[in-house]
Amino acid sequence: VSSPLKKVVIFGVGLIGGSFALALKRAGAVRHVVGVGRRGLDAAVRLGVIDAVGAADAATLGDADLVLLATPVAQIETIMQAIASHLGADTVVTDAGSTKGDVAAAARRHLPGRLTHFVPGHPIAGGEKSGVSAAKADLFRGKRIVLTPLPENDECALQRVRDAWQSCGGVLSEMGADEHDRVFAAVSHLPHLLAFALVHDIAGRPNAEQLFGFAASGFRDFTRIASSHPEMWRDIAIANREALLGELDAYRAKLDALHDLLEQGDAPGLEAIFSAARESRDAWLKKQAN
Amino acid sequence: VSSPLKKVVIFGVGLIGGSFALALKRAGAVRHVVGVGRRGLDAAVRLGVIDAVGAADAATLGDADLVLLATPVAQIETIMQAIASHLGADTVVTDAGSTKGDVAAAARRHLPGRLTHFVPGHPIAGGEKSGVSAAKADLFRGKRIVLTPLPENDECALQRVRDAWQSCGGVLSEMGADEHDRVFAAVSHLPHLLAFALVHDIAGRPNAEQLFGFAASGFRDFTRIASSHPEMWRDIAIANREALLGELDAYRAKLDALHDLLEQGDAPGLEAIFSAARESRDAWLKKQAN
């Protein structure tokens, strides 16, 4: 067990940033948490999520052990620029963005002298609710945390980030930023795009009201992620455009194949795909339950 | 309030057929329920879901007020042929199939002399669990029940089917079979196809295990319906092929549009679609909650 961090600074004290603070505190892994951001900070202090409000300045950052960037991805570049000259020599910076290639590239642009101490990360946790009032100490318990270390990363800096997430109960993985972005294009970004597309398709029909009127629980669950934050998903789609286009192409090819089977009335062909899909999904669920 | 039905016969005492029996019994809307089928009947008697086991014969059907065909759709034609000559003059037959154009056509082929007394129906209820052990008296409470009456339907026969479903707590709608099949192609059959396609796509990758390993709750809910019964969905897809192909084409056009926006890096265009989808879905959920 490593000794507690003296000071952690969190940019963006919402669901993710706030839960990170609460989890570290509950684990006794931090002494002092400072929040920086455009909103929610008063509430965060009142709720005991953070101990103080800071700013992108030397007073806040010069003696910080760890800085988490947990704002929407679109703000990360601006924050990197703002903090670059105020970080302490030993301050480690990490982030919680859903895409990693763009964050690594931004770090190379704006924190070129700090690449030993910038460790990109992505906690696979969240929820439909956002904001600090939804934050909870066990949000990351048993959840996967993916780090995509830079080749330049200092081993101690990397270990500090690993330790922090482990204190939060996260299950750590490490991979390259490109690999991360391809994996999440497939299992997260594409499904979001598909759900948005279906709801948009239905909503644009002359008989949309009738259609929604007969939509049941299958439709509700299938489209749950279409209630996700539009700006956040716009940013993710743009940031991970290349991998997402590749996934979309693969999926369109699969739909073309289903279209042909359907057109030909190929019942065994359809059943083979449905059965294989069900088996794969059920095997996955079983593994998750273990 | 109409007087209780003396005798109801249910072909296929699974989740739907069994729940129909339990709901009618709880409402005091039936005196005697007979089950017919290939399996689950002993359990159904033991569980008190049905009172007796019957067969496709005159003893079972000659004095029945109402017959529900709740088997998989693929068996309905065979059952129609088997029961045609045994039905009583006043016996009303309905079904619970997910597609209605094919059921109406089958009735015209196999029950041509009984079209006054055959009322196609579709209860919008179900669940991942199937079989009589999953049956429950409140399965249809507040759920939509769509009837697609034939022009030939006798008004009293139609009213008997309406009354039965109302006793079960269902919320009745009526429309033509074609309209039904178009509506459900959009809000149910297409989403199932899309979910099966996504899981099949992922499962076929060399790194499928890694991909499933990072799939989270969004993926789980999006693909829940890909754990549905493959044979049942094969039959539905084939039975409603024409409408489903139309929906698939519309959806592919929507994906093509998203592909172009993404390729052009059109962030406002993507956000407009995501926002509109989210708003439509949230408005729908709000309406459902009221």
pTM of the shown model = 0.91
What's A3's DSSP letter?
P
Please report residues of A whose CB lies closer than 8 A to that of B238: 262, 265, 267, 270
Cβ-defined contact of A265 to B190 (cutoff 8 Å)? no
What distance in Å separates the CA atoms of residue B154 and residue B168, rounded to the nearest whole number?
A: 22
CA B155 to chain A, closest CA, distance in angstroms equals 25
Nearest residue of chain B to residue A279 (CA atoms): B227
What's B115's DSSP letter?
G
**Looking at chain A from residue 205 to 234, which residues have their Cβ under 8 Å from any Cβ of chain B?**
205, 207-208, 210-216, 218-228, 230-231, 233-234
Residue with the two structure tokens 């594409």: A190
Cβ-defined contact of B218 to A225 (cutoff 8 Å)? yes
Please report residues of B whose CB lies closer than 8 A to that of A225: 218, 221-222
Query: Coil, strand, or helix at residue B93?
Result: strand
Nearest residue of chain A to residue B227 (CA atoms): A278
Cβ-defined contact of A222 to B195 (cutoff 8 Å)? yes
pLDDT, tens digit only, all 290 positions of chain B? 568 999 999 999 999 999 999 999 999 999 999 999 998 999 999 999 999 999 999 999 999 999 999 998 889 999 999 999 999 999 999 999 999 999 999 999 999 999 999 999 999 997 667 899 999 999 999 999 999 999 999 999 999 999 999 999 999 999 999 999 999 999 999 999 999 999 999 999 999 999 999 999 999 999 999 999 999 999 999 999 999 999 999 999 999 999 999 999 999 999 999 999 999 999 999 998 87
Could you give phi then psi for residue A19, rounded to 5 degrees?
A: -70, -35
- Which residues pair with residue A10 across a beta bridge? A35, A68
Both tokens of A236, joined, read 């993710």
- Which residues pair with residue B95 across a beta bridge? B69
The amino acid that residue B187 corresponds to is V
Walk across the sheet containing A121-123 and list its strands.
Answer: A121-123, A144-147, A171-174
Cβ-defined contact of B254 to A230 (cutoff 8 Å)? no
CA atoms within 13 Å, Cβ hemisphere of A175: 19
Please report residues of A whose CB lies closer than 8 A to that of B230: 271, 274-275, 278
